[in-house]
Every structure is written in structure tokens, then in C-alpha cells.
Structure 1
Amino acid sequence: MAAFLATFLVTFLVTFLATFLATFLVTFLATFLVTFLAAFLVVFLATFLVTFLAAFLVVFLAAFLVVFLAA
């Protein structure tokens, strides 16, 4: 009986810990990566578009005025 309980407890604990850790790590990494990438892409695209448009408009207007005034 003692051997049965010992093997039962050991196999239960090992399989429980293994499946718990595996599922926890997979779900944690999946949700973390998805939320991180989504937030990163939103912030990156927003800041990139704003800075790119601002810089492009400044350079374009300057070049247009130079060419227009020179003509």
C-alpha cells in the first residue's frame, strides 16, 4: 500500500507540475507576445507616421518653395 501511495503521489506531482508549467508557459508567452506586439505596433506606427508626415511636409514645403521661388 505504501509503495502504491508513493508511486501515485510522485507520478501525480510530476505530471501535474509538468502539465501546469507547460500550459502556463505556453499561454503566458502567447498572450504576452500578442499584447506586446499589438501595443508595440500601434505605438510604433503612430509615432512613425506622425514624425514621418511632419518631416516630409517640412522638407517638401521647403523644397517646393525653393523651386517655386527660383522659377
Structure 2
Amino acid sequence: MQHSVFLTCNFLQKVLAKNNLATTAKALYLHRNTLIYRLDRMATMLNVELKDLNTNELFYLLFSCMLVEYL
């Protein structure tokens, strides 16, 4: 469970940074390659391509991330 919280935080920060990986990595104090690895891992776990999400899917995923952080 703890790992999924890190993954959702990474994804949420990426969206807030307008998909800019360098800005996201800097905000999370991570190396850019570490961030890419974590996002790929999240995409694999969810069986989705994060780059191909439409607006509704993105909203649903972001809302789910916020729920995970809250709980």
C-alpha cells in the first residue's frame, strides 16, 4: 500500500506540473529517470498508457489518486 501512495503522488505532481518531467522530478526531489521508472510502473500496474488518457479518464485517475492520499 505504501508504494502505491508514492506512485500516485508522483503522478499527481506530474499532472500539476503540466506533464513536465524535469519540473516534476525537481519538485519531488527525484532523479528524472527515477520518476520515469515510477510512472511506467504505475502505468503497468493500472494497465493503461498514461500518455493516451482523455480528459474524463485523467480526471477519474486524479480523483482516485487524491482518495488514496486521503485514506
Q: Do the two structures share a fold, i.e. TM-score over 0.5?
A: no
TM-score by length of 1: 0.25
Higher relative contact order (CA 8 A, sep 6+): 2
TM-score by length of 2: 0.25
Please tell me whether Structure 1 or Structure 2 has the larger radius of gyration of its CA atoms.
Answer: 1
**Higher percent of residues as helix:** 1
